[in-house]
Amino acid sequence: MGLALALATPAFAAAQNDEGPQTRNYDESLDQAARLTFQRAREAFVNGDYEEALRLFRQAYELSPRPVLLYNIAATLDRLRRDAEAVEALQAYLEADPDAPERQEIEARIRVLQAGSAEREAEAEARDAQQREREAELDAERERLAAEDAARREAAETEGERDGLHPAVFWVTAGAALAVGGVAAWSGSDASSRDDDYRNLAAEAVARGATAADVEEVDEALTEVESAQLRTNLLIGIGGSLAIGAVVLVFFTDFGGEDDESAEARRSRTLPQVAAGPEGFVVGATHRF
């Protein structure tokens, strides 16, 4: 290819006087334009701008269709990895100049390009087959998911779905409220007992004339009473909140489910509604027909 580019200008200039396959009547003004275009194409090729080089080589060939330009076109297409077009250009060059001195090398290059093109076509076909296989797998997966979704909807329509919360939510909340209430009751009893001990201890200390040790002991007893009362108040608050939550959940819990309800009953249901506003909570009810 480098030899072809180096010898292109002499061959181009000498072609006007050669006898043989290149002999024809060329317009000298077109020849001059073709020479200038060829020089620009060669510069673009050397600079690695193969798209521009290909455009200019083809333009030069249109201005002055000399076989050597077909070789340059083929060399540029080869660089662009457009093997099928390069093979066509090389074959056109050999047809235009059957006595080309580099014929054997060009025929060998044609065979290499054809083999590479066939290999890439086989790879492309394999990739297409893999893509089709993946698409088929995706289609099958989508169909499976659609069938599962349809089965779930059918099962829901057959068995019915709960409109409210699961009873387990209510029972867990109510159980927690009872448990915390029991602990709060024990804590209250303990706080009351400690308060009695504190009062008795303080009375005894006053009766015998409180010493520094008595005062310290009374202070410790008072601290224990306050801690027990604080613990009790916290437990009461938590237990009360859970109890209130359990009462609210009564309105939102579907204790019986819908297994025994008719379709008409499932469609018609009164449900409580709770909304929070700037002034507090609003409780109401909605009826679904």
User: What pLDDT, in 10s, does the model give residues 116-155?
Assistant: 878 777 888 888 888 898 999 899 989 989 998 888 888 7
User: What pLDDT, in 10s, does the model give residues 72-131?
Assistant: 999 999 999 998 899 999 999 999 988 888 888 988 988 888 888 787 778 888 888 888
Distance CA 289, CA 12 (A): 93
Tell me which H or E stretch contains 224: helix 212-252
Would you say residue 50 has pLDDT above 90?
A: yes
CA distances from 97 to 67, 69, 107, 246 (A): 6, 11, 13, 99
